[in-house]
């Protein structure tokens, strides 16, 4: 017996009219659940009281397959691993390989497997950017997802395009903390239903969706214009109560795109009482053993289609009695690409193939973006900006997207193609210059350190620490906000708080004119008319073989330069 719903039906117990009102999925929109539901007794039951009256087999195993942060990576690519203190690269991913693996895993538990994506699917590759995500729609549908969540980059093509791209997928969509603005035709309604219910062999599972409430600050404000966000902790408890007490769900899961630190913080929040798992995303972390919080467990399943999280849920007499979790590599040596999907990929990529394969430079060192403090990839980008415009400081956001580019040990170098440039910079932003004081730089750096390492997880941005060229920054991560910086040098000289410095960075669409890379009050802001892709291509033409590496531009006194996660205070390690 299988049954699925995205809006509540009448429960078997009498409800008041107020209690019965819940977010409707009509016309793809949701309404907020009222706060008037009764408070649950201590220790929310993991199964409804009437479970023994249902036709539920005594033993049921349900499998959740989970991907996230694919970032539109169509093809098998280099992937980075950290083993014995060293970088190791292996071939992983590719959507056609992913499909073969999904089919194989589904066959292990046929009819009882649910496939979920946790967001950031439509952004991160040239084909995605040049078609505003549309080319990725048929590929997603061919993979056969049951459920999806909007990530922080689903807004990159603006609100209407996000609605179109996600609306044309066949999977159910959920998100309990994204609302239309009150001044449009949807009048403040939830954009997507807050939850989704799936019934397999009488076992009812409820999934509640949340994306990062900090999207308008993390990214160009214009991307999310017309959308309002709220932190997950404002509504988790009421939806859990509804799914447990009214719908009678045997299992409740949060599908979140908030970053591992925020998600672990949520797992330690009492609002998550009654949640079995948080299926997390955003920071591309590879959780191989679920992280146990005070109230629930957290997993996150890597990025770029390189991994699948596999969670097997074991129910006995209608109660979740046990589970097993694995983070599995999407390995092309084990799973040949699916011919049907591979043909579709070639078809959507064909109009762009010649340009994507164009070699624009070479590197003798690996290009990667996994380290939290400083990365070779962003050193290359900011060095190109310094070379072109010769400011005092060049800045770049702490992006995470882009799989690595490994160097062939026999050739001693790797080709940088236009496709890889799109992977590094999926938004070809205009470069903007300005003038700031040393005091402004100091205060801004303190804010950026807080964004990355705030002790309150709900305040942490999903991105890593900001990147730069022309500057050295020494800090202590575990210090309090406003007290992390130890010293700053610009071009080898101590930062002068009274002096003015020229800076350059990417324009963020929607920011006030005097804001540059979240640095406010910039003097003499000027759009240069040059765009990032052209500057990188010009730099690589002038430097035929580059060799970017870690140089000590960002130095933490309490963590190594190879720090690979924002999350401290647990046994979790990225590898």
Percent of the chain with pLDDT over 90: 85
262, 389: one domain: no
Asked if residue 30 belongs to a domain, the reply is no
Distance CA 66, CA 311 (A): 8
Res. 141 pLDDT band, cuts 50 70 90? very high
CA angle 196, 201, 203 (to 5 degrees): 50
Q: Would you say 318 and 56 are in contact if contact means Cβ atoms under 8 Å apart?
A: yes
185, 78: one domain: yes
Compute the Cα dihedral for 33, 36, 37, 39 and give only its sign: positive
438, 517: one domain: yes
Asked if residue 189 belongs to a domain, the reply is yes
Question: In sequence order, what DSSP letters do the residues of 79-138 get, joined into one string?
Answer: EEEEETTEEEEEEE--HHHHHHHHHHHHHHSTTSEEEEE-S--S-SSHHHHHTTTGGGHH
299, 419: one domain: no
- In this prediction, residue 52 carries a pLDDT of 46
Nearest to 378, CA basis, from 441, 291, 465, 462: 465
Asked if residue 568 belongs to a domain, the reply is no
Higher-confidence position of 125 and 55:
125
412, 307: one domain: no
422, 451: one domain: yes
Q: Would you say 430 and 528 are in contact if contact means Cβ atoms under 8 Å apart?
A: yes
- In this prediction, residue 23 carries a pLDDT of 37
- Domain CATH number, residue 508: 3.90.780.10
What mean pLDDT do residues 463-468 have? 90
Compute the Cα dihedral for 89, 91, 93, 94 and give only its sign: positive
Asked if residue 12 belongs to a domain, the reply is no
Greatest pairwise CA separation for the chain in angstroms: 76
Distance CA 144, CA 169 (A): 10
Residue 245 has pLDDT above 90, yes or no: yes
Out of 290, 315, 341, a domain closes at 341
Looking at every residue in the chain, the average pLDDT score rounds to 91
What mean pLDDT do residues 521-545 have? 97
In 3-state terms the chain splits into helix, strand, coil percentages (rounded to 5) of 25, 30, 45
What mean pLDDT do residues 540-555 have? 97
Number of domains in the chain: 2
Asked if residue 25 belongs to a domain, the reply is no
408, 272: one domain: no
Taking only the tens place, the pLDDT of each residue in 384-436 is 999 999 999 999 988 888 999 999 999 999 999 999 999 999 999 999 999 99
Distances, alpha carbon 500 to alpha carbons 391, 471, 496, 522, 546, in Å: 12, 14, 8, 10, 31
Asked if residue 2 belongs to a domain, the reply is no
Distance CA 172, CA 347 (A): 26
Asked if residue 446 belongs to a domain, the reply is yes
What mean pLDDT do residues 259-267 have? 94
Distances, alpha carbon 165 to alpha carbons 80, 160, 218, 532, in Å: 30, 9, 22, 26
Tell me the CB-side half-sphere exposure of residue 219, using CA atoms within 13 A: 21
Range of the domain at 534: 357-556
Taking only the tens place, the pLDDT of each residue in 312-325 is 999 999 999 999 99
364, 407: one domain: yes
What mean pLDDT do residues 114-122 have? 98
Ranking 6-15, 97-106, 436-445, 448-457 by mean pLDDT, the lowest is 6-15
- In this prediction, residue 21 carries a pLDDT of 37
Out of 341, 375, 403, a domain closes at 341
374, 410: one domain: yes
Phi, psi dihedrals of residue 184, rounded to the nearest 5°: -115, -175
196, 259: one domain: yes
Distance CA 382, CA 468 (A): 6
Strands of 467-469's sheet, edge to edge?
A: 467-469, 393-396, 500-506, 430-437, 523-531
Taking only the tens place, the pLDDT of each residue in 13-64 is 333 333 333 333 333 333 334 333 333 333 344 444 444 445 899 999 999 9
Tell me the CB-side half-sphere exposure of residue 573, using CA atoms within 13 A: 8
Strands of 554-556's sheet, edge to edge?
A: 493-494, 485-490, 471-475, 554-556
- Domain CATH number, residue 119: 3.60.21.10
Res. 6 pLDDT band, cuts 50 70 90? very low
329, 464: one domain: no
* 534 CB-near residues (< 8 Å, 6+ apart): none
Asked if residue 20 belongs to a domain, the reply is no
- In this prediction, residue 355 carries a pLDDT of 98
Taking only the tens place, the pLDDT of each residue in 332-365 is 999 999 999 999 999 999 999 999 999 999 999 9
Out of 341, 375, 404, a domain closes at 341
308, 432: one domain: no
């Amino acid at each position: 017996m299988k049954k699925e719903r995205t809006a509540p039906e009448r429960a078997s117990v009498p409800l008041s009219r107020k209690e019965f009102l819940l977010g409707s999925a009509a016309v793809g929109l949701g309404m907020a659940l009222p706060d008037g539901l009764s408070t649950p007794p201590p220790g929310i039951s993991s199964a409804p009281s009437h479970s023994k009256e249902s036709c539920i087999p005594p033993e049921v195993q349900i499998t959740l397959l989970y991907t996230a942060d694919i970032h539109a990576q169509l093809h098998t690519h280099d992937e980075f691993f950290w083993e014995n203190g060293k970088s190791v690269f292996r071939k992983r991913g590719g959507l056609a390989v992913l499909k073969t693996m999904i089919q194989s895993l589904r066959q292990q538990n046929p009819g009882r497997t649910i496939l979920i994506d946790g967001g950031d699917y439509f952004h991160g590759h040239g084909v995605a950017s040049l078609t505003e995500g549309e080319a990725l729609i048929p590929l997603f549908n061919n993979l056969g997802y049951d459920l999806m969540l909007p990530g922080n980059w689903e807004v990159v093509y603006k609100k209407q395009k996000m609605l179109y791209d996600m609306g044309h997928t066949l999977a159910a969509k959920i998100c309990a903390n994204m609302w239309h603005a009150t001044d449009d035709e949807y009048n403040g309604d939830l954009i997507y239903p807050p939850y989704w219910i799936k019934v397999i062999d009488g076992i009812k599972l409820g999934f509640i969706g949340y994306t990062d409430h900090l999207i308008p600050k993390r990214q160009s404000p214009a991307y999310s214009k017309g959308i309002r966000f709220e932190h997950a902790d404002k509504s988790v408890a009421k939806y859990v109560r509804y799914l447990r007490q009214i719908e009678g769900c045997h299992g409740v899961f949060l599908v979140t795109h908030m970053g591992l630190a925020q998600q672990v913080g949520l797992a330690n929040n009492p609002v998550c009482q009654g949640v079995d798992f948080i299926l997390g995303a955003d920071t591309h972390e590879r959780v191989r053993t679920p992280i146990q919080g005070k109230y629930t467990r957290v997993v996150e399943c890597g990025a770029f289609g390189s991994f699948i999280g596999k969670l097997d849920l074991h129910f006995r007499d209608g109660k979740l009695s046990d589970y097993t979790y694995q983070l599995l590599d999407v390995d092309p040596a084990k799973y040949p690409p699916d011919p049907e999907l591979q043909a579709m990929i070639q078809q959507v990529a064909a109009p762009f193939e010649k340009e994507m394969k164009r070699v624009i430079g070479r590197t003798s060192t690996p290009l990667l973006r996994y380290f939290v403090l400083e990365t070779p990839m962003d050193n290359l980008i900011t060095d190109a900006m310094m070379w072109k415009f010769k400011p005092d400081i060049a800045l770049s956001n702490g992006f995470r997207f882009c799989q690595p580019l490994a160097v062939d040990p026999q050739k001693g170098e790797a080709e940088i193609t236009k496709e890889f440039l799109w992977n590094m910079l999926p938004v070809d932003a205009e470069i903007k210059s300005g003038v700031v004081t040393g005091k402004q730089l100091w205060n801004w750096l303190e804010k950026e350190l807080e964004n990355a390492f705030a002790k309150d997880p709900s305040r942490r941005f999903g991105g890593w620490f900001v990147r730069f060229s022309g500057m050295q920054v020494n800090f202590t991560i575990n210090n309090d906000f406003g007290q992390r910086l130890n010293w700053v040098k610009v071009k080898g000289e101590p930062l002068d708080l009274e002096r003015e410095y020229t800076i350059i960075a990417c324009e963020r669409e929607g920011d006030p004119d005097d804001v540059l890379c979240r640095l406010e009050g910039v003097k003499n802001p000027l759009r240069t008319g040059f765009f990032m892709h052209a500057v990188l291509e010009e730099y690589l033409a002038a430097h035929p073989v580059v060799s970017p590496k870690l140089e000590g531009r960002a130095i933490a006194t309490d963590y190594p330069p190879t720090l690979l996660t924002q999350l401290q205070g647990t046994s979790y390690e990225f590898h």
